């Protein structure tokens, strides 16, 4: 397989869209009618249910670990887990940029004819990437041990370093299911992982051996088994040759892991910068809280973020489902179709997130008592404030998916380049001025800046597209336009 530059593929699609002005002219009405047909809504509804179920099970796994550790551990130990988990999310950003996101964009659009070989190559790329990331995380743990040998951060960070390859293998297997548009398989693997984690956590509790390191090892083992269950079903689903969903499948010797890595990098190099900048927007607050207010306060902030994580995972579930479809729409020149879906999704998810934040304002006290038994009762006011973050992310989801599905990831980089300084500066100042409230406000400010930037880029891209269509219609008028001109 020869790697094709992103700009080249985008140009081909743009030329294809510009070469058919009559179709583009009729698209807005027909697209909306087609998208809202009962049969289409039923198909999307079924896939969305499985996708939300899968993401909900994944969220419930993280939720169970987070709130049980918050109940069982002293604040300092839980704060160490929170810092290690925040570092794990940073690592996830790099893996997403180089492996998961490019696979979602190119898998269904460019390699539908040989997904078996393509997935095998992506698995090898995953192995190379996570090995490097694990070594870096283990090095950080070693440095922490040299500086503070008795700090609870040592075991927590080392646990995350060992667990990273297995945790991310489950993410890789689940993303393959979304490329295949089979979220049901992903949900089964996530359910297995959740069951094993819950059983293991209570076993650790019974043995009185609950630590951040043990928690990471437990989730790593459960993720490995869940990933194997998914990959086994995918291997049986994908034929060696023949057809899959009407697409001819023929093994290709050209899909090597090196060629796949080059293709991933052609797209992911823009997201690589995002992987550096996005943690500044969404994770720097945790590190500043630990530095300025202590590990105990970091544990409080992490605990108060748990209810909002439910809505965050729901938004992520829809994002995982729609991105491969947006990429196919773009590759086939269905730009108007893609943009209308983006607007509907952003409005729906943003509105749902806002309703969730309002609801949490009234049920924060019983929710805290149910989760933590009154341990963090003094901080329940943080819950609805932090719930604004997934509401903003929901509003941003459709616009962000349009930009990424259009193979223009540099817009994502630009958006994060604007959001990161806002988040970092506000975190540094607000936490010193207002404590944990400042951390929550900084999180909202960073997400809001990114959403506004993506909205502007979405509008700018649409205006550029309309200008291109106007020029093409001037050069190649439709038959109706020609009749009007003659008359």
* Category of 283 on φ-ψ map: left (φ > 0), alpha (ψ -120 to 50) or beta: alpha
**pLDDT for 374:** 86
Mean pLDDT of 38-67: 75
In the structure, what pLDDT confidence band is assigned to residue 482 with cuts at 50, 70 and 90? very low
Output the CA torsion 414→343→60→65 (10° steps): 20
Cα–Cα distances in angstroms (integers) from residue 296 to residues 83, 199, 289, 418, 430, in the given order: 11, 27, 9, 31, 18
**pLDDT for 43:** 60
Q: Choose among 234, 235, 318: nearest CA to 53.
A: 318
- pLDDT tens per residue across span 90-140: 888 889 889 998 898 888 667 877 888 899 999 999 999 999 999 999 999
Q: Which one is predicted more confidently, 298 or 472?
A: 298
In the structure, what pLDDT confidence band is assigned to residue 322 with cuts at 50, 70 and 90? confident
- pLDDT tens per residue across span 202-226: 999 999 999 999 999 999 999 999 9
SS3 244: strand
The answer, yes or no, to whether residue 164 has pLDDT greater than 80, is yes
Mean pLDDT of 182-206: 94
Q: Minimum mean pLDDT among 124-138, 287-301, 312-326, 422-436: which range?
A: 312-326
Distance separating alpha carbons of residues 98 and 120, to the nearest angstrom: 15
The answer to whether 346 and 394 are in contact (CB under 8 A) is yes
The answer to whether 276 and 90 are in contact (CB under 8 A) is no
The answer, yes or no, to whether residue 385 has pLDDT greater than 60, is yes
Token couple for 30: 């027909």
> Which helix or strand (DSSP H or E) is residue 355 part of?
helix 335-372
Average pLDDT, the chain: 81
**pLDDT for 101:** 86
The answer, yes or no, to whether residue 36 has pLDDT greater than 70, is no
Q: Which one is predicted more confidently, 252 or 482?
A: 252
Cα–Cα distances in angstroms (integers) from residue 99 to residues 435, 448, 473, in the given order: 37, 27, 39
In the structure, what pLDDT confidence band is assigned to residue 31 with cuts at 50, 70 and 90? very low
Which range in 198-207, 313-322, 343-352 is most confidently predicted, on average pLDDT?
Answer: 198-207
Q: How many CB atoms lie within 10 A of CB 237?
A: 15
**pLDDT for 473:** 45
- pLDDT tens per residue across span 451-480: 999 899 888 877 666 555 554 444 444 444
**pLDDT for 1:** 42
Q: Minimum mean pLDDT among 67-71, 181-185, 401-405: which range?
A: 401-405
Mean pLDDT of 255-266: 88
Strand segments, DSSP code E, in 266-312 are: none
Mean pLDDT of 153-172: 95
Mean pLDDT of 372-383: 89
Distance separating alpha carbons of residues 92 and 460, to the nearest angstrom: 30
Token couple for 241: 């040759």
- pLDDT tens per residue across span 416-428: 889 999 999 999 9
Q: Choose among 277, 309, 295: nearest CA to 418.
A: 277
Beta-bridge partners for 248 = 243
The answer, yes or no, to whether residue 334 has pLDDT greater than 70, is yes
Distance separating alpha carbons of residues 318 and 349, to the nearest angstrom: 9
Distance separating alpha carbons of residues 476 and 487, to the nearest angstrom: 18
Q: Which one is predicted more confidently, 9 or 387?
A: 387
Output the CA torsion 60→62→67→73 (10° steps): 150
**pLDDT for 10:** 39
Distance separating alpha carbons of residues 234 and 85, to the nearest angstrom: 29
**pLDDT for 16:** 39
Output the CA torsion 445→451→452→453 (10° steps): 110
Mean pLDDT of 350-354: 92
> Which helix or strand (DSSP H or E) is residue 243 part of?
strand 242-244
**pLDDT for 483:** 36
Cα–Cα distances in angstroms (integers) from residue 19 to residues 22, 169, 191, in the given order: 9, 42, 47
Share of the chain above pLDDT 70, in %: 80
**pLDDT for 439:** 94
**pLDDT for 373:** 83
In the structure, what pLDDT confidence band is assigned to residue 38 with cuts at 50, 70 and 90? low
Query: How many residues make up the chain in this entry?
Result: 487
**pLDDT for 34:** 52
**pLDDT for 37:** 58
Mean pLDDT of 288-312: 88
The answer, yes or no, to whether residue 241 has pLDDT greater than 60, is no
């Amino acid at each position: 397989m020869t790697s094709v530059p992103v700009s080249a593929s985008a140009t081909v699609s743009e030329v294809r869209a510009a070469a058919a002005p009559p179709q583009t002219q009729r698209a807005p009405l027909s697209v909306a009618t087609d998208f809202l047909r009962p049969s289409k809504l039923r198909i999307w509804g079924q896939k969305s249910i499985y996708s939300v179920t899968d993401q909900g099970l994944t969220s419930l796994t993280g939720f169970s670990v987070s709130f049980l550790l918050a109940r069982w551990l002293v604040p300092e130990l839980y704060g160490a887990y929170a810092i290690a988990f925040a570092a794990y999310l940073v690592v996830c950003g790099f893996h997403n940029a180089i492996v998961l996101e490019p696979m979602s964009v190119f898998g269904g659009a460019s390699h539908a004819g040989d997904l078996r070989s393509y997935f095998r190559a992506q698995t090898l790329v995953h192995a190379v990437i996570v090995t490097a990331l694990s070594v870096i995380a283990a090095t950080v743990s070693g440095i922490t041990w040299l500086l503070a040998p008795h700090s609870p951060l040592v075991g927590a960070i080392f646990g995350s370093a060992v667990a990273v390859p297995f945790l991310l293998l489950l993410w890789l297997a689940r993303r393959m299911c979304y490329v295949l548009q089979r979220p049901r398989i992903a949900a089964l693997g996530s359910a297995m992982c959740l069951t094993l984690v819950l059983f293991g956590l209570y076993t650790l509790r019974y043995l009185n051996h609950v630590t951040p390191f043990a928690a990471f090892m437990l989730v790593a083992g459960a993720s490995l088994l869940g990933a194997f269950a998914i990959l086994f079903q995918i291997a049986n689903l994908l034929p060696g040759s023949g057809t899959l969903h009407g697409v001819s499948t023929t093994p290709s010797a050209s899909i090597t892991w090196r060629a796949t890595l080059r293709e991933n990098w052609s797209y992911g190099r823009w997201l690589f910068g995002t992987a550096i900048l996005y943690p500044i927007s969404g994770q720097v607050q945790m590190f500043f809280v630990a530095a300025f207010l202590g590990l105990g306060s970091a544990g409080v902030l992490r605990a108060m973020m748990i209810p909002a994580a439910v809505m965050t995972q729901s938004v992520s579930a829809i994002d995982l489902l729609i991105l491969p479809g947006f990429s196919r729409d773009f590759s086939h020149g269905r730009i108007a179709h893609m943009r209308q879906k983006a607007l509907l999704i952003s409005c729906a998810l943003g509105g749902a997130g806002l309703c969730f934040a309002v609801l949490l304002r009234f049920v924060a006290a019983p929710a805290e008592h149910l989760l933590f038994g009154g341990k963090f009762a003094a901080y329940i006011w943080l819950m609805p404030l932090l719930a604004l973050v997934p509401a903003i992310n929901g509003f941003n989801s459709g616009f962000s998916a349009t930009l990424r599905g259009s193979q223009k990831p540099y817009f994502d980089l630009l958006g994060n380049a604007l959001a990161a300084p806002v988040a970092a500066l506000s975190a540094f100042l607000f936490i010193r001025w207002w404590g944990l409230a400042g951390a929550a406000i900084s999180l909202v400010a960073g997400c809001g800046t990114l959403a506004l930037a993506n909205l502007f880029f979405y509008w700018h891209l649409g205006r550029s597209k309309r200008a291109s269509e106007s020029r093409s219609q001037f050069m190649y008028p439709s038959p109706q336009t020609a009749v009007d001109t003659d008359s």
